[in-house]
């Protein structure tokens, strides 16, 4: 029911959703770029439901408190402990090993604001968990949202980033001036 309702809402708003013809992997790190607006969450959730993709996302474990904890988990939230020195990348790699099916959505810029480039956490998680990368987009200019491709990573992060950049060519966020360049920050 939620899948159909989400498809209807997106269609009524003039949006098209898509996914590659290749089979959907049971586990992946999904990146969403460009991330320039709070509207990305709205369209991202609708696209997630419309595709039946069951995409998860990270949030501080302190945000998972009563009365919102159950709702946050149902919407795909995964609590992470930011108080201890345990590494978020390690926590997420362990989460992948605990589950048979798990797609973790991450915005590589880490913020809606303009930055000098991308953080490498998504890449380290995907390589550490040995899962493919799903290249997700919410393109406001074309009114399209979905997954452009599933990509196996080579371990050569610069070469892989070049391949990712090609897939995002011509894709536009809600506020294009806030789209960070596709290059490594760290």
pLDDT in tens, 6-37: 999 999 999 999 999 889 999 999 999 999 99
Q: Which of 42, 58, 53, 133 is nearest to 90 (CA)?
A: 58
Q: Which of 18, 23, 24, 13 is nearest to 102 (CA)?
A: 24
Distance CA(53)–CA(98), nearest Å, equals 19
pLDDT at 72 (0 to 100): 86
Decide the pairing of beta strands 55-60 and 102-106: parallel
Spell out the domain ranges in the chain.
2-178
Task: Give whole-number Cα distances, 9 to 2, 5, 48, in Å.
Answer: 10, 6, 13
At residue 65, the 3 state secondary structure works out as coil
pLDDT in tens, 92-132: 999 999 999 999 999 999 778 899 999 999 999 999 999 99
How many other C-beta atoms are found inside a 10 Å radius of the C-beta of residue 156?
A: 10
pLDDT mean across residues, the chain: 92
Q: What is the rounded average pLDDT of the residues 148-163?
A: 97
């Amino acid at each position: 029911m939620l899948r159909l309702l989400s498809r209807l809402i997106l269609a009524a708003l003039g949006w098209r959703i898509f996914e590659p013809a290749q089979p959907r992997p049971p586990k992946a790190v999904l990146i969403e770029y460009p991330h320039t607006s709070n509207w990305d969450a709205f369209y991202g959730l609708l696209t997630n439901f419309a595709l039946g993709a069951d995409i998860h996302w990270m949030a501080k474990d302190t945000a998972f408190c009563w009365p919102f904890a159950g709702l946050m988990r149902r919407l795909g939230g995964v609590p992470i402990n930011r108080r201890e020195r345990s590494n978020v990348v390690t926590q997420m790699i362990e989460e992948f090993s605990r589950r048979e099916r798990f797609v973790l959505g991450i915005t590589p810029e880490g913020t809606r604001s303009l930055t000098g480039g991308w953080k490498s956490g998504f890449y380290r998680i995907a390589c550490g968990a040995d899962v493919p990368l799903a290249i997700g987009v919410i393109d406001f200019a074309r009114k399209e949202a979905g997954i452009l491709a599933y990509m196996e990573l080579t371990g050569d992060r610069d070469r892989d980033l070049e391949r990712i950049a090609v897939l995002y060519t011509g894709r536009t966020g809600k506020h294009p001036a806030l789209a960070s360049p596709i290059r490594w920050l760290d």
